[in-house]
A and B are shown apart, each in its own frame.
Chain A
Amino acid sequence: MIHTENLTKQFKTTLAVDRLSLDIHEGEVFGFLGPNGAGKTTTVRMLTSLIGPTSGKAVVNGFQVGTQDTDIRRTVGILTETPGMYDNLSAEFNLEIYANLYEVPNPKGQVEKYLRMLGLWDRRQDEAGTFSKGMKQKLAIARALLHEPRILFLDEPTAALDPEAAHLIREFIAELRKEGRTIFLCTHNLDEADRLCDRIGVFKSQLLALDTPSRLRSQLFGRKVVFHLRKSEEALAEILRPLSFVSDARVIENKLLVTLDDPELHNPDIIRVLVGAGAEITFVGELRHSLEDVYLQLVKNA
């Protein structure tokens, strides 16, 4: 659905996006993570044909950025960083403007459908300026969906929202995912990316890493399994270290921390060895690094 090859954007002396190459598949929720000023919004603007690339190539929904811009804009939906509603016009009229610009066949029907879906139907005659941040964001999401795009670009959809509003927006994104839409999600919220995204690209002018959240964790930190023991025994770590599938093993108090590539495959072997050595195991669990750890590590190294 989205394919880029060495996509680059240079603003005078600033290299905002440097040779970005990625493929995003149909129905995928792709998280685009990066610090402020990393070039995330510039990337979204290029992929929605709002601005042109300096070099490289991008194909969105089968249309080439730079030569088929109107087709791209007709078939993608975008939630911009700020909602950008017409504050002194009603919510309904705001959406009708966009339904007409997207040449939606039944504009009034589509407007009603999304106002109802997002719980704004009762406030449809109110000026958008009277809405809370969360309601404005919902209205902006409705605007992005009016023409039923298969690809949706969401630029910081929950930024500056209170936890309840952010939760509702996330639930709605999860619904959109179930409908099979392809979603390109720029976010700072790592928990949000962890929960919603199939794959994540960590970006700071360049793509620093690209994979599923769990693989990113294991690539960077390895997978760690914690064996809780009845009593602390340093010797158990020494028994495990020579095993080919164990990268590292250490005892911290009465916990044995084992780093390995494939816990599902090798945990039974480890348990067998430990029990054979007389260990009394009370609990086994995986030590998960948060996506925040992954993100901070990658951005720090960039």
Chain B
Amino acid sequence: MHKIKTIIHKEWAEVFKNRMVIFSVIFMPLLFTAIPLIMLYAMKDTGTTEGAANEIPPQIAKVCDETLTSGECFQVYMVTSFMLMFMMTPMIIPVNIAAYSIVGEKTTHSLEPLLATPITNIEFLTGKNLAAVIPAIIATWIGFIIFAVGATIIAGGKIAASFLNPMWLLAIIIVGPLLAVLSVNFSLMVSSRVNDPRVAEQLSAVIILPLLLLFFGQMTGFIFLNQSLVMVIAVLLLVIDASMVYLAVRLFERENILTRWR
């Protein structure tokens, strides 16, 4: 545990001296928090539009309960679609941190002396993982808290309650960290196997694609995100994460990394 803490401490001391990383950790969650809040603010007046839920398209009506007007329901639909961005934060931030931390080790030739210490692969990778995952989770949760407070102030408690339902809490508290773990381990696996650090960064970004599909699927009405689907996604991610962690440890071959990265 002592060695893992040392790796985390070192990673943060190093990574957070990089302005690009600080920018991505602070700016991105703020942006993803601001977009739904701005949308909510812009649609504030449409909430007063009277009408039954059945006057609006069925894929929109699905996200609302009967107590909401059609205008309020439309607000909830639009904002919940953009709330998927909160799921992007825990994926994008760790890619930046993990990619930088590994590329940094490569460019400064610091990996060899580090691997020459008695640290095990599991300790090394756990340290790298947590150093990237923890800031991503904290940034996501802080962003969501700001959103929750802002939504309540802008739209009132009735509409805010539609966003702050168990499904979204499950998504933010459980799915978010699982996505962060997936993202970091994918980056570590890619970095362990390719020769060129730039290729590592670019390939690592591919992990965001499935989430983008979910985002556009929900926007176009092909996919309807509900509590059951989020539960299924959480279980699937748990299995995928376990496999990814196992693979990342297996694929982390010191010899390969030391002799191929020149």
Residues of chain A whose beta carbon lies under 8 Å from any beta carbon of chain B: 11, 45, 48, 50-52, 70-71, 73-74, 78, 80-89, 93, 97-98, 100-103, 140, 143
> What's the tally of chain B residues with a CB closer than 8 Å to chain A?
25
CB atoms of B108 and A80 under 8 A apart: no
CB of B14 closer than 8 Å to a CB of A: yes
| CB-defined contacts of B13 to chain A, threshold 8 Å | 89, 93
Shortest CB distance A52–B (Å):
7
Of all chain A residues, the one with the shortest Cβ separation from B9 is A97
CB atoms of A80 and B109 under 8 A apart: yes
* Segment among B66-74, B145-153, B192-200, B251-259 that sits at the interface with chain A: B251-259
Of all chain A residues, the one with the shortest Cβ separation from B107 is A87
Q: A45-B258, A86-B108 are in contact. Are A50 and B2 (CB under 8 A)?
A: no
**Complex A-B: 26 CB contacts under 8 Å:** A45-B258, A50-B116, A50-B254, A50-B255, A51-B258, A51-B259, A52-B255, A70-B120, A78-B113, A78-B116, A80-B109, A80-B112, A84-B108, A84-B109, A84-B113, A85-B110, A86-B10, A86-B14, A86-B108, A88-B14, A88-B17, A98-B117, A100-B2, A100-B6, A103-B3, A103-B118
Shortest CB distance A119–B (Å):
21
Shortest CB distance B16–A (Å):
10
CB of B103 closer than 8 Å to a CB of A: no
CB atoms of B10 and A50 under 8 A apart: no
CB atoms of A85 and B108 under 8 A apart: yes
Report whether over half of chain B's contact residues are helix, strand or loop; otherwise say mixed. Answer: helix
- Alpha-carbon gap, A45 to B120, bound state (A): 16
Shortest CB distance A199–B (Å):
24
CB atoms of B258 and A84 under 8 A apart: no
CB atoms of B14 and A48 under 8 A apart: no
CB of B174 closer than 8 Å to a CB of A: no
Shortest CB distance B127–A (Å):
10
CB atoms of A101 and B108 under 8 A apart: no
Of all chain B residues, the one with the shortest Cβ separation from A77 is B116
CB atoms of B113 and A100 under 8 A apart: no
CB atoms of A97 and B6 under 8 A apart: yes
Identify B118's interface contact among A11, A85, A102, CB under 8 A.
A102
Query: What number of A-B contacts does a CB cutoff of 8 Å give?
Result: 71
Shortest CB distance A89–B (Å):
6
Of all chain A residues, the one with the shortest Cβ separation from B115 is A50
Shortest CB distance B4–A (Å):
10
CB of B119 closer than 8 Å to a CB of A: yes
Q: From residue 83 to 126 of chain B, which have CB atoms closer than 8 A to chain A?
A: 108-120
Q: A85-B110, A86-B110, A88-B17 are in contact. Are A100 and B118 (CB under 8 A)?
A: no
Of all chain B residues, the one with the shortest Cβ separation from A49 is B116
CB atoms of B111 and A84 under 8 A apart: yes
- Alpha-carbon gap, A52 to B256, bound state (A): 11
CB atoms of A11 and B110 under 8 A apart: no
Identify B10's interface contact among A11, A82, A97, CB under 8 A.
A97
- Alpha-carbon gap, A100 to B1, bound state (A): 11
Ranked 4 nearest A-B pairs via Cβ? A84-B109, A100-B6, A101-B117, A74-B118
| CB-defined contacts of B119 to chain A, threshold 8 Å | 101
- Alpha-carbon gap, A198 to B118, bound state (A): 29
| CB-defined contacts of B109 to chain A, threshold 8 Å | 80-84
Shortest CB distance A217–B (Å):
35
- Alpha-carbon gap, A73 to B6, bound state (A): 17
| CB-defined contacts of B113 to chain A, threshold 8 Å | 78, 80, 84, 98, 140, 143
CB atoms of A87 and B258 under 8 A apart: no
Identify A51's interface contact among B14, B17, B118, B254, CB under 8 A.
B254
Shortest CB distance A39–B (Å):
12
Question: What per-residue 1/0 map shows which CB atoms of B229-262 lie under 8 Å from chain A?
Answer: 0000000000000000000000000110011000
CB atoms of A73 and B117 under 8 A apart: yes
